[in-house]
Amino acid sequence: MIQGARVLVPGEGLVETSVRIEGETIAAVGVDAGPRDRIVEAAGLLLLPGIVDLHGDAFERQIMPRPGVHFPMQVAFADTDRQLISNGITTAYHAVTYSWEPGLRGRDTVIAILDGLEETRPRLLADSRFHLRYELYNLDVADEVVDWMQCGRVDLLAFNEHMAPILRKADRGEPLGTYTGRTGLSEDAFLALVRGLDARTDEVAPTVGRLAEIAKANGIPMASHDDRTPDERRHFNALGCGIAEFPLTLDAAEESRKLGNTAIFGAPNVLRGGSHMKDGGIRAADEVRAGRCSTLVSDYYYPALPQAPFILAAAGDAPLEDAWSLVSRNPARAAGLDDRGEIAAGKRADILLIAPPAGGLAEVRTTFCGGKPVLVSDWI
C-alpha cells in the first residue's frame, strides 16, 4: 500500500490518496490500509503512471558507443534497461530501421538487434518491445517482414521514406558522405544502388499495402514517419497508420489532429526548447499548446521523457495532468495497450514515485514494473 502521495487519478487530477498493489496489478485506489499491508509513506511525492515510450533509439549508443566499436547485444540491452527504469520508462519500443542500405541499417544489424532483444528480454525489467521502421524501398525483404509479423516478433510497424531526399541530393550533385559512411559503399556504388531502387518505384505502393494488411490482421499498430503534407497523412491513415511520427509541417500535424490520429513529437525537443534540426523544425511545446501533439517519445535521449511534462506545465503549455498523459495514457492507447497508462484498479502496476522539481529537475525516486519495485531510492 502506497499512501500520502498525490496520485494522478483519471478524471480527478492529482489527489492525495492511497494505492494498493497486489501482484502485478493495481488492486484499489483510495482505500484504507489493512492490517497485513506493507505501508510505503510517500508524502511530498507524486504517484504517476509509468512512461510508455513508443519510439526510442538511444540503445544504439550501448551497442556502438564509438564508430566501429561494437559490444554484445545482451550487455547493451541490460545497460539500456537500467537507463529506462531510472528514467521511469516502464514500456519501451526500441525503434530499429530496416533499410535497403547495407551496414548500420542493413539486414545483419537488424537481425542481430532483434535476436539480441528476444534473448535478453526475459531478464529485462522494463517491458521492452520491437518497433520496426521499414524503409519503403526495401522491397526484397517484404516476405521476411511478413513472417516476423505473423510470428509475433514485431510490436509496432512504421513506414519510413528516405529515398526522396537522397535522390534530391544526388540530382543536385551534393556530397553523399552521410550515407556512404554508414554503408561502407563508394559513392558510385551507393548511387548505383539508389538508381536501381528508384527504377522499382511502382513496386512500393503494393508492397506497403500488403505489409499494412498483414499488420492489421495481426493487431500490430502502425505509424508513418516524417509526413510532409495532409495528403500523405490521409494516405497512411487510410492504410491503418493511426500514428504520425514527427510530422514535418504544421499542415500535416493539423491533418493528424483532424483525423483523430496520434501525433508524436520528441521529448528532447521540449527539454531543449526546440528541434535539433538545422532548419529549426517544429517546436514541440507549440504543438502541445495547439492540441496537435498527443504523444511525446524519447527519440534519442531517455532522460527527456520524465522532464518534459513538468517543463510543459511550468511554461503553461498544458496542465501537468494533461502533460503526463502525453507520456503515459496517450501512447499506451495508441499502441493498443489498454492494461496500462493510468492509475486505476485492474491496470498493470507500472507506477512511478517522483519528486517534483523544486527549482531544478524532477527526480524519479521509485519505479514499479508490473508491481515489482525495480528502482528504489534510499528514502523508501
Of 61-65, 151-155, 266-270, the least confident: 61-65
Of 177-186, 270-279, 332-341, 353-362, the least confident: 270-279
Cell representation of residue 12: 480527478
Distance from C-alpha of 371 to C-alpha of 350, rounded to nearest angstrom: 6
CA-based torsion, 258, 327, 96, 117: positive or negative: negative
pLDDT at 170: 84
pLDDT at 157: 98
CA-based torsion, 361, 365, 371, 372: positive or negative: positive
* Residues sharing a CB contact under 8 Å with residue 354, sequence separation 6 or more, in sequence order: 45, 46, 47, 48, 88, 306, 362, 363, 364, 365
Query: pLDDT by residue (tens digit) across 229-263?
Result: 999 999 999 999 999 999 999 999 999 999 999 99
* Residues sharing a CB contact under 8 Å with residue 144, sequence separation 6 or more, in sequence order: none
* Residues sharing a CB contact under 8 Å with residue 31, sequence separation 6 or more, in sequence order: 18, 20
pLDDT at 177: 80
Residue 53 predicted with pLDDT over 90: yes
Residue 64's pLDDT band, with cuts at 50, 70 and 90, is confident
Distance from C-alpha of 345 to C-alpha of 27, rounded to nearest angstrom: 5
Residue ranges per domain, the chain? Answer: 1-49+341-380, 50-340
Interval 94-122 mean pLDDT: 93
Amino acid making up residue 353: L
Would you say the pTM of this structure is higher than 0.85?
A: yes
Residue 335 predicted with pLDDT over 90: yes
Residue 314's pLDDT band, with cuts at 50, 70 and 90, is very high
pLDDT at 27: 96
Widest Cα–Cα separation across the chain: 75
- pLDDT above 70 covers what percent of the chain? 98
Residue 94 predicted with pLDDT over 80: yes
CATH architecture of 1-49+341-380: Roll (2.30)
Residue 378 predicted with pLDDT over 80: no
- Label each residue of the chain as H, E or C: CEECCEEEECCCEEEECCEEEECCEEEEECCCCCCCCCCEECCCCEEEECEEEEEECCCHHHHCCECCECCCHHHHHHHHHHHHHHCCEEEEEEEEEECCCCHHHCHHHHHHHHHHHHHHHHHCCCEEEEEEEEECCCHHHHHHHHHHHHCCCCCEEEEECCHHHHHHHHHHCCCCHHHHHHHCCCHHHHHHHHHHHHCCHHHHHHHHHHHHHHHHHCCCCEEEECCCCHHHHHHHHHHCCCEEECCCCHHHHHHHHHHCCEEEEEHHHHHHCCCCCCCCCCCHHHHHHHCCCCEEECECCCCHHHHHHHHHHHCCCCCHHHHHHCCCHHHHHHCCCCCCCCCCCCCECCEEEEECCCCCCCEEEEEEECCEEEEECCCC
pLDDT at 363: 95
Residue 87 predicted with pLDDT over 90: yes
pLDDT at 171: 85
Name the class of domain 50-340. alpha beta
Distance from C-alpha of 81 to C-alpha of 95, rounded to nearest angstrom: 14
Residue 106 predicted with pLDDT over 70: yes
Distance from C-alpha of 275 to C-alpha of 291, rounded to nearest angstrom: 18
pLDDT at 169: 87
Interval 105-113 mean pLDDT: 92
Residue 351 predicted with pLDDT over 80: yes
Residue 51 backbone class (left: φ over 0; alpha: ψ -120 to 50; beta: rest): beta
Residue 291's pLDDT band, with cuts at 50, 70 and 90, is very high
Strands 25-29 and 19-22: what pairing? antiparallel
pLDDT at 276: 65
Distance from C-alpha of 70 to C-alpha of 243, rounded to nearest angstrom: 32
pLDDT at 278: 57
Distance from C-alpha of 40 to C-alpha of 89, rounded to nearest angstrom: 21
Query: pLDDT by residue (tens digit) across 162-212?
Result: 888 888 888 888 888 878 877 888 888 999 999 999 999 999 999 999 999
Torsion of CA 208, 244, 109, 206, to 10 degrees: 0
- pLDDT above 90 covers what percent of the chain? 79
Question: What is the residue-averaged pLDDT of the chain?
Answer: 93
Residue 280's pLDDT band, with cuts at 50, 70 and 90, is low
Length of the chain: 380
Residue 279 predicted with pLDDT over 70: no
